[in-house]
């Protein structure tokens, strides 16, 4: 079973590209982020035609998350409790025997910006949520975390005072680890330098100037069942003339069970 996460940077603008991707990679469950579209406008039919069930938590112009799945999904939670002001950023569903959550975590803009404190609060609320509503044995928490877990995950000189790299942000990420969430890509590739996001500008992709911020976290019971974990750099490139997102899709393939 293939689980994927992907920040598409605008679902409307990415729809044709996404169809090429679904046909090529055929994931079973997908967490999507940064849809920039309302639930009413979401083009469900395009996904149904390819055999996917769709659950959305969108909003106009910004943010928005969704889950595509081969099997029907039942909504467990739309939105992070107490954090509605920061937009549509969390969607938790039950699909098959997986407790599946996808998140688009706040950006924070800069460590001096008001949004940075709000970002930290959002992560505090996320940790509190998992304490109040614990994940099932077989669980996935995937998405765009907007935190670089460690120096190996960034092309920048990692002095710790850059947004995404600060000790306060990493403390929030580490708290998820303390709650039992395992970074499945890093568990599979402990020493591999790899990125999932590259700036559109300045040829960053070809220069290797990226960040690994798109992650698939798994529960302790799920982690041993991971057969492979990969970042799909090919789908950060233009495909058939269609423009890519600035994020690559990330996969985790789980043994059938």
Minimum gap (Å) between residue 105 Cβ and DNA: 8
| Pair 162, 194: CB distance under 8 Å | no
Pairwise CA distance, residues 148 & 167, whole Å:
10
Among 115, 230, 232, 253, binds DNA (CB under 7 A): 115
| Pair 76, 94: CB distance under 8 Å | yes
Structure tokens at 193: 């330098």
Q: Is 104 in the active site?
A: yes
Contact flags string 162-201 toward DNA, x per CB under 7 A: --x--------------------------------x-xxx
Residue 185, classed as helix, strand or coil, is helix
Q: Whose Cβ is closer to DNA: residue 71's or residue 234's?
A: 234
Q: Whose Cβ is closer to DNA: residue 82's or residue 202's?
A: 202
Q: Is 195 in the active site?
A: no
Is residue 94 part of the contact set for DNA (CB under 7 A)?
Answer: no
| Distance from the Cα of residue 233 to its chain's centroid | 15
Q: Whose Cβ is closer to DNA: residue 92's or residue 247's?
A: 247
**Burial class of residue 241, CB neighbours in 10 A (0-12, 13-18, 19+):** exposed
Q: Whose Cβ is closer to DNA: residue 99's or residue 246's?
A: 246
Segment 29-68, which members bind DNA (CB under 7 A)? 34, 36-37, 60-62
Q: How many residues of this chain interact with DNA, rule: CB under 7 A?
A: 31
Which one is catalytic: 99, 144, 153, 246?
A: 144
Per-residue DSSP letter, 87: -
Given phi > 0 = left and psi -120 to 50 = alpha, else beta, which region is 92? beta
């Amino acid at each position: 079973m293939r689980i994927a996460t992907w920040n598409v940077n605008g679902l409307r603008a990415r729809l044709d590209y996404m169809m090429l991707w679904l046909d090529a990679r055929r994931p079973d469950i997908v967490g999507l982020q940064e849809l920039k579209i309302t639930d009413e406008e979401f083009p469900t039919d395009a996904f149904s035609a390819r055999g996917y069930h769709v659950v959305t938590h969108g909003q106009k112009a910004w943010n928005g998350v969704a889950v595509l799945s081969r099997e029907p999904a039942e909504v467990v939670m739309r939105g992070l409790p107490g954090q509605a002001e920061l937009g549509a950023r969390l969607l938790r569903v039950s699909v098959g025997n997986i407790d599946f959550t996808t998140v688009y975590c706040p950006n924070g803009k800069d460590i001096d910006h008001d949004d940075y404190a709000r970002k930290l609060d959002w992560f505090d609320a996320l940790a509190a949520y998992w304490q109040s509503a614990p994940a099932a044995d077989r669980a996935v928490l995937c998405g765009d975390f907007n935190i670089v877990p460690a120096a190996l995950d960034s092309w920048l000189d990692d002095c710790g005072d850059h947004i995404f790299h600060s000790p306060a942000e990493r403390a929030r990420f580490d708290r998820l680890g303390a709650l039992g969430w395992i970074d499945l890509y890093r568990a599979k590739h402990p020493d591999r330098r790899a990125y999932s996001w590259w700036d559109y500008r300045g040829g960053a992709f070809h220069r290797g100037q990226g960040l690994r911020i798109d992650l698939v976290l798994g529960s302790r019971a799920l982690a041993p069942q991971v057969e492979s974990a990969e970042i799909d750099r090919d789908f950060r490139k233009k495909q058939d003339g269609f423009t890519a997102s600035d994020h690559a899709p990330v996969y985790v393939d789980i043994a059938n069970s």
